[in-house]
């Protein structure tokens, strides 16, 4: 499998034999956490579609998956992700089924359902109630700041 960083906000996953490789079209592009997030979504989607195609008798060898994302603010985060299936040999009448199957990816489900994230420090007791920042709903990611400390 090969993942190509096509920009600071996009990747392309291609099913090549051999070990996973990560390449960039531009030498200045670094593999960021956002590329990792998109890679997780693309590889999970590929795995689900590979399984579906194998069982449905559909060729998957020319399937590649492009993922683009856009940022949102307050707080800064990925606000939208676009997944494009590049699959020339997929019969047109199987497109809707393939699109539905792609949504069975567990990473897709995780990103769609906003998981609760808890951050703790090793060796400290955890609170039973998640901390939230002022103005943020309890279901949103939160940051707790100890105002008695300074610095990073």
Given a contact cutoff of 8 angstroms between Cβ atoms, the answer to whether 105 and 45 are in contact is yes
Given a contact cutoff of 8 angstroms between Cβ atoms, the answer to whether 15 and 61 are in contact is yes
Q: Express each pLDDT in 15-59 by its tens digit.
A: 999 999 999 998 899 999 999 999 999 999 999 999 999 999 999
SS3 94: helix
Verdict on whether the full-model pTM lies above 0.75: yes
H-run or E-run covering 54: helix 33-56
Q: Express each pLDDT in 56-79 by its tens digit.
A: 999 999 999 999 999 999 999 999
SS3 1: coil
Domains of the chain, with CATH numbers? 2-112 (3.30.300.20)
Greatest C-alpha distance within the chain: 62
């Amino acid at each position: 499998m090969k993942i190509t960083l096509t920009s600071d906000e996009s990747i392309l996953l291609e099913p090549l034999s051999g070990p996973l490789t990560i390449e960039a079209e531009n030498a200045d592009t670094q593999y960021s956490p956002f590329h990792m997030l998109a890679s997780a979504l693309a590889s999970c989607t590929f795995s689900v579609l590979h399984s579906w195609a194998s069982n449905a008798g559909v060729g998957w060898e020319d399937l590649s998956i492009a993922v683009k994302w856009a940022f949102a603010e307050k707080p800064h985060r990925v606000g939208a992700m676009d997944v494009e299936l590049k699959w020339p040999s997929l019969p047109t009448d199987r497109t809707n089924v393939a699109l539905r199957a792609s949504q069975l990816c567990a990473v897709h489900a995780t990103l769609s359902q906003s998981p609760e994230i808890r951050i703790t420090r090793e060796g400290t007791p955890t609170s039973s109630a998640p901390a939230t920042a002022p103005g943020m709903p309890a279901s949103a990611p939160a940051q707790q700041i100890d105002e008695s400390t300074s610095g990073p």
